[in-house]
Every structure is written in structure tokens, then in C-alpha cells.
Amino acid sequence: MGEKRGMKGLETWCKRVTSGYPGVKVENMTTSWRDGLAFCALIHHFRPDLLDFASLDKDDIYRNNTLAFRLADQYLGIPALLDAEDMVEYAVPDRLSILTYLAQFYQTLGHQGSSPARAVAKRPASLSDRSAPPLDVDSPPTKVVKVLFLGGPQIVEVWPSFPGPGGTAVQWWRD
């Protein structure tokens, strides 16, 4: 039951943080992220200085994802687990990869909160009245990813060096 709450908590946090951004509607943990706008909105919410959200084109899936993955890696220390080419190629991106990637965002940003004055000042005018603080959930979303690893050892082998709290994915899975 705790795993479902954690997964729901991660989704709720993502919805709150990206709420009000034009063209972004997080309805699921796959296709809602495909065009890259939700990733850019997530980054912009906490670091509006890194990108001009209003200049993004919803139809430029490759550029949006490339930008988001590069900024997350370079400025937030969140390594890209997804590939912009895959986001373009597949109509439904891999759910486990997206959950794992978003769990890293939550680990890095989830307890920071954004400065409402800073965030509102730098958001597009259409967003200036919508400041959404991050959601504090009972169980960390990283536990959701851990549960997903319980689907079988073959999943763990895909990411043998996933940077979880226990070191490698195998150690993290066994903890």
C-alpha cells in the first residue's frame, strides 16, 4: 500500500509543480512527459533562470527533451536516464525510466521548495498567479522505484550502476 501512495505522491508532486504551465498537463507518467514540456516546466519551477519556458515549442520534442536533460544534468546534478531520440521515436515512453528519472528530481528538489517571489517574478505572465509548493509525501518516491525493481532481477540488470542510496541498483534493491 505504501508503494502506491509513494507513486501517487510523486505524480501529485509533479502535477503541482508543473500546474499552470501552458501546454503542460501531467495526466500519467508516460505520454504526459513525451514532448519535454513537463520536464522543462519542472526545471523552470525551481530554476526559472535556466530557461525561457515561453520560447519552447510543444511540437519540438527533440529540442525540449534535449534541453531539459542537459539542464538537469549540468545544473541540478541529475543524470539523464532518458534519451531525446527515444522520446521522439516512441509514442509511449518507458514508464519505469520516467519514474526513475522523476524520483531523482524529487530527491534533489522535492524538499527545497521554490522561492515564490523568485519563481513568480520569472514565470511567464500567464503563470504569475500560480505558485505551487512541492508536496511533502509520506514515503519517498525512490521507494516506488525500488518496488518496481522487485518486478524481477532482469530489470535491475538494465541499470547496474543506478545511483541509488545504497550504491548500485542491486545493493539498493536488496536494502
Q: Provide the pLDDT for residue 8.
A: 87
Q: Provide the pLDDT for residue 157.
A: 42
pTM of the model: 0.66
Residue 81 makes CB contacts below 8 A (sequence gap 6+) with 97, 100, 101, 104, 159
Compute the half-sphere exposure of residue 45: CA atoms within 13 Å on the CB side of its CA.
29
Each residue of 72-102: pLDDT tens digit? 999 999 999 999 999 999 999 999 999 999 9
Q: Is residue 113 very low, low, confident or very high in pLDDT (cuts 50, 70, 90)?
A: low
Lowest mean pLDDT among 14-18, 121-125, 167-171: 121-125
Whether the Cβ atoms of residue 50 and residue 115 lie closer than 8 Å to each other? no
CB crowding 110-136: b at 16 or more within 10 Å, else e: beeebeeeebeebbeeebeeebbebbe
Q: How much is the average pLDDT of 52-76? A: 97
Q: What is the dihedral of CA 115, 165, 51, 87, to 10 degrees?
A: -140
For residue 147, is pLDDT > 90? Answer: no
Q: How much is the average pLDDT of 113-122? A: 41
CATH superfamily of 2-136: Calponin-like domain (1.10.418.10)
Q: How much is the average pLDDT of 11-27? A: 96
Tell me 137's DSSP state. Answer: -
Q: Residue ranges of the domains in the chain?
A: 2-136
For residue 160, is pLDDT > 50? Answer: no
The amino acid sitting at 29 is M
